Amino acid sequence: MAGTKTEKMRQQELRAPDSFQKVGAEASDWLAQRQKIIGIGVAVVIVGGLGVAIANEVSKRGEEKAAQALGQALTVLERPVEGVEPAQPGDTEPPFKTVKERDEALVKALTDFRKEHGGTRSAATAALTLGEAQFRLGQHPEAEASFAAFLKDAPQNEPLRAGALEGQGYALEAQKNYDGAIKAFEQMDAASGGEFLAGMGAYHKGRMLILQGKKEEAAQVLSKISTDHPNTAAARMASERLAVLASEGVKVPAPAQPAAATTGQDAG
């Protein structure tokens, strides 16, 4: 009897799936599923790469289109102004009657352009010219916003940043926001706007302090410009301002002197 039971158990075990077979089958299923997922992942990467390439191409074409449109918008500046610039042979449009009329046309053209091509490098560039035209028209809050838009979108190494900061400072000054103007002007020297603008940030800061009635503090700021930025337009204008302050009884600091050489006796 025992032998018969044992034989039946062995036959059942032989018919039953081996544990290693189970594991092998499960492993095969797992690999099959992984292959499907990996295949999908590769497809996603490929499609994603194509998407990036297509997006880059679309962006490139968008930038080219925007650059062309900006050039078209700026043709407003090529039209002469009566009594200011003579008409040229071949001009197809009549001259503007006044500079104000031309600036108004420029503001409209650039505003429309920025709405249509927002987010492009050309739109950022246009904000600077737009701000300048708005400032000339006395649209100071609008000019401030345009200069801020340029500064937000332009690269940190953009050479025109110093000019935009100066324009922003002027717009804030026109609104009598002298503290805000000082903040804009103080950033000019760090923006490296070229030889002409060297020291101009400090000069404008001195002007704002004078407008706030802080004349002695202004004299301190202005007196350093000739030392920090010698032989510049800012140094010349600062000297002129200092002369006016001195005539008003403001104590003007003496120019900085080179450090005296240390003698052997002093060293001892």
Exposure of 20 by Cβ count < 10 A (0-12 exposed, 13-18 middle, 19+ buried)?
Answer: exposed
Segment 131-149 mean pLDDT: 96
Please state the three-class secondary structure of 39-86 as a single string.
HHHHHHHHHHHHHHHHHHHHHHHHHHHHHHHHHHHHHHHHCCECCCCC
Helical spans, DSSP H, in 74-160 = 99-116, 121-136, 140-153
pLDDT score at 5 = 44
Band the pLDDT of 120: cuts 50, 70, 90.
confident
Across 156-160, 209-213, 262-266, least confident range:
262-266
Across 15-24, 27-36, 78-87, 254-263, least confident range:
15-24
Integer CA distances (angstroms), 172 to 143, 166, 191, in order:
9, 10, 19
What does the buried/exposed string (b/e) look like for 249-267 if buried means 16 or more CB atoms within 10 Å of the residue's CB? eeebeeeeeeeeeeeeeee
CA distance 165 to 247: 31
CA distance 112 to 66: 12
